[in-house]
Amino acid sequence: MTESLNGKGLALVPKTDAKQSLKDFKSDQEVRWCPGCGDYAILAAVQSFLPELGLRRENIVFVSGIGCSSRFPYYMNTYGFHSIHGRAPAIATGLAASRPDLSVWVITGDGDALSIGGNHLIHALRRNVNLNILLFNNRIYGLTKGQYSPTSEIGKITKSTPMGSLDKPFNPISLALGAEAGFVARTIDSDRKHLHSVLREAAAHRGTSLVEIYQNCNIFNDGAFDALKEPETRDEITIRLEHGQPIVFGTGENEKAVRLSPQGGVEVVRRAEVAESEILVHDAHRPDPSVAFALSRLDDPAFEHVPIGIFRSVDRPAYDTLMSEQLEQAAADKGKGQLADLLLGGDTWRIA
């Protein structure tokens, strides 16, 4: 079973013949994010993407923690669980591990997933239950009104850090790769086509997938990702990772390429100065995560160049499958459990 399910993230989820549209996935609840919030774009992208999967709507569940993004489940006409701060991966783990017939999506933010829920996130990734985790990263606390987050840049001036924040941020992609994640990707709220392509691959991956979505908070951290969106800068700094393709970016004279560095890791060089054979060809299926990790470091510390796309997509057995197999194995070895036999097991004696 383990073998055949690899690459088939939703093989156990029942399908529908009915034609679905975006409208089918809209709930009757009024969407209450701030006007102009990047969450709207992501919601619309998810709602327009789901019909493509053709799953029975009742077998889809959205689980969230706390934060602006975590209101997401209320707006989806599927099953939904808006839980508590940081704990969505844990709750979704119990649900997905006991119900392999469900397509379970975790909606979380940079504070929810990386601060208060950091422990659950890393363990969910290493454990590899069949979950899709969408991490909306706006590099700020929105719902509590504008404190710096674990992805805010050092020196961030906020209400809680009037002289600038002092702590180094997490790079969510590096963190996920370090946590043994099998599927790690990054995309942007404003690029629906790219978002769809990443969601498609994430859903197809059996096991835990982590998708970081750069999301603009237009109230407390407006323009955080503008450099990736403005036509003048966008193509100069965005590294679009595509499996099997040489990693090149930039335009005209500024065209750049990524190659393995003699010092270890990867480096960005002017394309004109490097032989084609030296350009790194992206291999998302590479079992060893070190090159993916090196690629994740390219956007550190500032937005000089930012890789987006699928960093890593490697199949390994999903926890829920293995768990089910142990149950089946135990029943096959010793027969299905019988309560009377269990209670009377061990040394007994009779009193007449």
Binding site for another protein (CB under 8 A): 27, 29, 56-61, 63, 66, 73-74, 76-84, 87, 89-99, 101-102, 119-120, 123, 323, 326-327, 329-331, 333-337, 339-340, 342-352
Q: Which is nearer to another protein, 127 or 282 (CB)?
A: 127
Which residue, 201 or 320, has its beta carbon nearer to another protein? 320
What are φ and ψ of residue 159, in 5° steps?
Answer: -60, -35
Least separation, in Å, of the C-beta of 346 and another protein?
5
Kindly state the smallest distance separating residue 28's Cβ from another protein, in Å.
Answer: 9
Q: Which is nearer to another protein, 180 or 283 (CB)?
A: 180
Smallest separation, CB 310 to another protein (Å): 26
The two three-digit tokens of residue 75, written as one number: 């707006």
CA neighbor of 298 nearest in space, from 345, 258, 339, 244: 258
Q: State the minimum distance, in angstroms, from the CB of residue 83 to another protein.
A: 6
Q: Which pair of structure tokens corresponds to residue 124?
A: 């969910």
Q: Give the DSSP letter of residue 163.
A: T
Cβ atoms of 77 and 25 within 8 Å: the answer is yes
Cβ closest to another protein, residue 60 vs residue 314: 60
Nearer to another protein, 154 or 331 (CB): 331
Rg of the chain over all Cα atoms, to the nearest angstrom: 22
Q: For residue 307, give every residue at least 6 positions away whose Cβ sits within 8 Å of its Cβ, in sequence order, or none.
A: 186, 239, 240, 241, 247, 295, 296, 298, 299
- Collect all residues with Cβ–Cβ distance below 8 Å to 152 and sequence separation of at least 6: 139, 140, 158, 165, 169, 221
Query: Alpha-carbon distance 55 to 73, whole Å?
Result: 17
CB 286 to another protein: min, Å: 27
What is the distance between the terminal CA atoms of the chain, rounded to a whole angstrom?
51
Residues near 309 by beta carbon (within 8 Å), at least 6 away in sequence: 185, 186, 187, 194, 198, 240, 241, 242, 282
Q: Which of residues 60 and 258 has its CB atom nearest to another protein in the complex?
A: 60
Closest contact distance (angstroms) between CB of 243 and another protein is 31
Q: Minimum CB separation from another protein for residue 137, in Å?
A: 22
Question: Is 181:208 a contact under the CB 8 Å cutoff?
Answer: yes
d(CA 124, CA 206): 13
Q: Which of 268/323 has CB closer to another protein? A: 323
